[in-house]
Amino acid sequence: MLVRRHVPLLESTLRARPLRLLLASQCSRLRYSSSSAAHPERIAVLGGGIAGLASAFFASREFPNTKITVYEGSAETGGWIKSKRVQVPGGEVNFETGPRTLRNATVTAHLVQELGLVDDLVFTKRSEPSANNRFIYYPDRLNRLPSKVPSLGELFTLARSGILNGWLGTITEPLQPKRPAALSDETVGSFLARRMGKRITDNLVSAVFHGIYAGNIWQLSIRTLLPTAWQLEDKYGSLLGGFLRMQHETDNGNMQTLAHPYDLNAARAMQSEIDIDIDLAEKLKEATVFSFKGGMQTLARGLQNAMEKTGNIEIRAGSPVASFKLADGAEKKVEVIAGSDDNKTTENYDVVISTLRNAELTPYVTVMTVNLYYENPALLPVEGFGYLIPQSIPFDQNPERALGVIFDSTAIKGQDTAPGTKLTVMMGGHWWNDFEGYPDEEEGLAMARSVVERHLGIKDTPIAHHVNLSKDCIPQYTLGYEERLKEFASSLQDEYKGRLRVVGNQFNGVGVNDCITGAWQIARGLRDGGWKSGSCGLDRVQDSRPWTVVNARDLTYRKIVSEKDVNA
Ligand SMILES: C=Cc1c2[nH]c(c1C)Cc1[nH]c(c(CCC(=O)O)c1C)Cc1[nH]c(c(C)c1CCC(=O)O)Cc1[nH]c(c(C)c1C=C)C2
Same domain, 368 and 467: yes
Does 260 have pLDDT greater than 80? yes
| Atom 29 of ligand 1: nearest residue by CA position | 101
User: How many angstroms does the Cα of residue 380 sit away from the middle of ligand 1?
Assistant: 21
How confident is the model at residue 159, as a pLDDT?
64
- Cβ-contact 223, 183 below 8 angstroms: no
* Span from the CA of 99 to the centroid of ligand 1 (angstroms): 7
**176 or 243: which leads in pLDDT:** 243
The residue from 430, 458, 475 where one domain ends is 475
- Name which residue leads in pLDDT, 10 or 304: 304
Any domain includes 53: yes
Assess whether 354 and 490 both reside in one domain.
Answer: yes
Exposure b/e, 271-294, CB count within 10 A at least 16 = b:
beebbbbbebbebbeebbbbbbeb
Mean pLDDT value across the chain = 88
> What is the Å distance from ligand 1's center to 14 Cα?
33
Distance 100 CA to ligand 1 centre (A): 8
Residue 141 lies in a domain: no
Q: Compute, in angstroms, the gap from residue 385 CA to the centroid of ligand 1.
A: 11
One domain for residues 424 and 514: no
Task: State the pLDDT confidence band at 13, using cuts at 50, 70 and 90.
Answer: very low
- The span from the CA of 387 to the CA of 398, in Å, is 13
Residue 79, pLDDT score: 97
Residue 260 near residue 543, CB atoms below 8 Å: yes
| Domain span holding position 411 | 85-107+118-131+362-475
Average pLDDT over residues 311-327: 96
Angle ∠(267,270,275) on CA atoms, nearest 5: 145
**Ligand 1, atom nearest to 473 Cα:** 1
DSSP state string for 482-493:
HHHHHHHHHHHH
Q: Tell how far the Cα of 476 is from the centroid of ligand 1, in angstroms.
A: 14
Span from the CA of 51 to the centroid of ligand 1 (angstroms): 17
C-alpha 314 – ligand 1 centre gap (Å): 31
Q: What is the DSSP secondary-structure string of 305-335?
A: HHHHHHSSEEEETT--EEEEEEPSSSS--EE
Determine the pLDDT at residue 148.
65
Closest by CA to 385, choosing from 126, 172, 201, is 126
Q: Given CA atoms 121, 126, 127, 131 in this order, what sign does their dihedral have?
A: positive
Which atom of ligand 1 has the smallest separation from the CA of 386? Answer: 41
4-18, 19-33, 470-484, 542-556: least confidently modelled range: 4-18
What residues are in contact with ligand 1 under a 6 Å CB criterion? Answer: 98-101, 103, 210-212, 214, 289, 367, 385-386, 388, 403-404, 406, 426, 429, 510-511, 513
Q: 467 and 404, same structural domain? A: yes
Residue 179 DSSP class: P
Instruction: Encode pLDDT of 63-111 as tens digits.
Output: 999 999 999 999 999 999 999 999 999 999 999 999 999 999 999 999 9
pLDDT of residue 171: 62
pLDDT of 146? 81
Q: Is residue 238, in this structure, part of any structural domain at all?
A: no
HEC per residue, 59-82? HHHHCCCCEEEEECCCCCCECCCC
Q: In this structure, is residue 541 part of a structural domain?
A: no
N- to C-terminal Cα separation, the chain: 17
Residue 41 has pLDDT above 70, yes or no: yes
Model confidence at 564, pLDDT cuts 50, 70, 90, reads: very low
Q: Is 343 exposed, middle or buried (0-12, 13-18, 19+ CB in 10 A)?
A: exposed
For residues 390 and 430, membership in a common domain is answered with: yes
Ligand 1 pocket test, candidate residues 97, 212, 220, 288, most atoms within 8 A of CB: 212
Regarding whether 458 and 367 lie in a shared domain, the answer is yes
CA-nearest residue, atom 32 of ligand 1:
289
* Predicted pLDDT of residue 9: 25
CATH of the domain at 522: 3.50.50.60
For residue 23, pLDDT beyond 80: no
Instruction: Check whether residue 373 and residue 441 sit in a common domain.
Output: yes
Ligand 1: which residue has its CA nearest to atom 14?
A: 212
Q: How far is the CA of 153 from the centre of ligand 1 (A)?
A: 28
Looking from the CA of residue 131, the nearest atom of ligand 1 is: 32
Q: What is the pLDDT of residue 160?
A: 65
- Residue 302, H or E segment: helix 297-310
Atom of ligand 1 nearest to the CA of 134: 32
Per-residue pLDDT, 130: 85
Per-residue pLDDT averaged across 327-339, rounded? 91
CB crowding 419-453: b at 16 or more within 10 Å, else e: ebbbbbbbbbbbbbeeeeeebeeeebbebbbebbe
Q: Is residue 370 located within the same domain as residue 458?
A: yes
Domain assignment of residue 127, yes or no: yes
Higher-confidence residue of 348 and 131: namely: 348
- Between 51 and 560, the more confident residue is 51
- Give pLDDT, residue 32: 40
Instruction: Check whether 43 has a pLDDT greater than 90.
Output: yes
Residue 243 lies in a domain: no
Per-residue pLDDT averaged across 243-261, rounded?
A: 80
Mean pLDDT of 241-268: 84
* Domain edge (last residue) among 453, 475, 497: 475
Indicate which CATH number applies to the domain containing 382: 3.90.660.20
Nearest to 403 by CA among 508, 477, 474: 474
pLDDT in tens, 360-390: 999 999 999 999 999 999 999 999 999 999 9
Residue 28 Cα to ligand 1 middle (Å): 33
Q: Which of 447, 475, 503 is the last residue of a domain?
A: 475
Under the banding of pLDDT at 50, 70 and 90, the label for residue 179 is confident
For 144-172, the pLDDT digits (tens) are 988 765 666 666 676 666 666 666 566 66
Same domain, 426 and 522: no
The answer to whether residue 561 scores a pLDDT higher than 60 is: no
Sign of CA dihedral 232, 237, 241, 245: negative
Residues 392 and 466 in one domain: yes
**What is the C-alpha R_g of the chain?**
24
Atom index in ligand 1 nearest the CA of residue 512 equals 17
115 or 176, which is more confident: 115
pLDDT tier, 33 (very low <50, low <70, confident <90, very high otherwise)? very low
Asked if pLDDT for residue 14 goes beyond 60, the answer is no
Ligand 1 atom closest to 288 (CA)? 32
pLDDT band per the 50, 70, 90 thresholds, residue 27 = very low
557 is a domain residue: no
Percent of the chain with pLDDT over 90: 74
- Give 506-516 pLDDT, tens digit per residue: 999 999 999 99
Task: Give 13 Cα–ligand 1 centroid separation in angstroms.
Answer: 37
How many distinct structural domains can be found in the chain?
Answer: 2
Task: Please tell me the residue having the least CA distance from ligand 1 atom 10.
Answer: 212
Same domain? 322 vs 350: yes
Same domain, yes or no: 458 and 509: no
Task: State residue 110's pLDDT score.
Answer: 96
Q: Return d(Cα 121, Cα 427) in angstroms, integer.
A: 28
Instruction: Say whether pLDDT at 415 is over 60.
Output: yes
Residue 547 lies in a domain: no
Going by CA atoms, what residue is nearest to atom 36 of ligand 1? Answer: 211
